[in-house]
A and B are shown apart, each in its own frame.
Chain A
Amino acid sequence: MKSILPPQAAPPSDGTFKPQLTSLVDVMTILLVFLIKSFSTEGSLITAASDLVLPVSNSQESPRVRSSIEITRKSVITDGHVLISTDSLRMADSLLVPGVYEWMKAARERNNDQSSGELVIQCDREIEFAVVKKVMYTCSKAGFSDFLVLVTREE
């Protein structure tokens, strides 16, 4: 009786199984091209905080390793230490925020010889200018004189 199933390929005479790798090689080649395109010998000197979305800019200036302060939607953080919640900062009457001032003054004195008063601000793109203004004012009073804003480079 004749079988309705397609005839199976006969196993190789030496008993080894040869998988078909052509499609896998195609995938690997595409992946390789993509990764070579995004390859960077410099790496990233600064890593943006995970819980904030940076504003987009066409600035081409590379980031420098400096003291930094992060203004997320929830809190203001530096060196992994939460200084104040963003809501409290928003409601503060004064431009000078004592909790932030004391910590940043200590940080400035600690890193006095390493950086020339530069501070990198990592700020969420939706944060109002009033909040950024208070942080900048407080940090300038703490001894930071030059401010750099970390942004995502526009492609």
Chain B
Amino acid sequence: MLSLFRSNRPPSEAAAEASDLDVTPVMNLFIILIPFLVSMAVFTHLSIVEFSLPPDLGAGKNDSSAKPVPKLTVRIGRDFLAVVLGERMLDSLAVTTEFPFDTLLLRLKYRVQELSYSDEVIVASRDNIPFKHVVRVMDLCREAGLKKVGLSSATADPGAGL
């Protein structure tokens, strides 16, 4: 009687030889493709961050006739992060073991909404701050919706004017 189920017997040697695929052309293709792709691969993606300079730097940037408008400023110090509008301190965050960047982002978003602020934000850093933190704060400002970022130097006092 013929069985409806497939036989569990191993295939014969002749059948195994017949089903053995010849992968040599595929290997040849890989050997051509892989060096080509390695030469065109980009393993680190680079970007640029644009920022403006303080008005006393750069030719033609100083417009002394214009009335000064209080600007939102983020100050970075070794032991503080502060959000200041003109001379008015809005938020001050203490730095403990690491910089409270998440809290700063929340505060910035809140202040941008509260003040309906869409002008330039100034990132003012103390001299001893590693540059990576300055770039991180510039990122946070953009995340908070402030597209135009300026860079400046901060004084020792978090609440002092620039």
Contacts and interface: CB of A to CB of B under 8 A. Distances in A.
**Do chains A and B interact in one complex?**
yes
A59 interface: yes
Contact of A21 (B24, B42, B59, B134): B24
A25 B47 contact: no
Interface string B46-76: 1111110100011111000000000000000
Nearest to B143: A58
A123 B23 CA distance: 49
Which range contains the number of B residues in contact with the other chain?
A: 35 or more
Which label, helix, strand, loop or mixed, suits the secondary structure of the B interface?
A: mixed
Interface string A34-50: 01101111111010100
Nearest to A44: B42
B128 A145 contact: no
A62 B93 CA distance: 33
A106 interface: no
A10 B142 CA distance: 70
A143 B58 CA distance: 7
A64 B48 contact: yes
Contacts of B127: 128-130, 133
A149 B135 CA distance: 9
Contact of A40 (B24, B42, B128, B142): B42
Nearest to B61: A145
A114 interface: no
A84 interface: no
Contacts of B143: 58
A127 B50 contact: no
B50 A126 contact: no
Interface in B98-127: 125-127
A21 B50 CA distance: 51
29 contacts: A18-B20, A21-B27, A29-B30, A38-B43, A39-B37, A39-B40, A41-B40, A44-B46, A48-B46, A54-B46, A55-B131, A61-B47, A63-B46, A63-B48, A126-B130, A128-B127, A130-B128, A136-B151, A137-B57, A140-B53, A140-B57, A140-B58, A145-B53, A145-B60, A149-B135, A150-B48, A151-B46, A151-B135, A153-B45
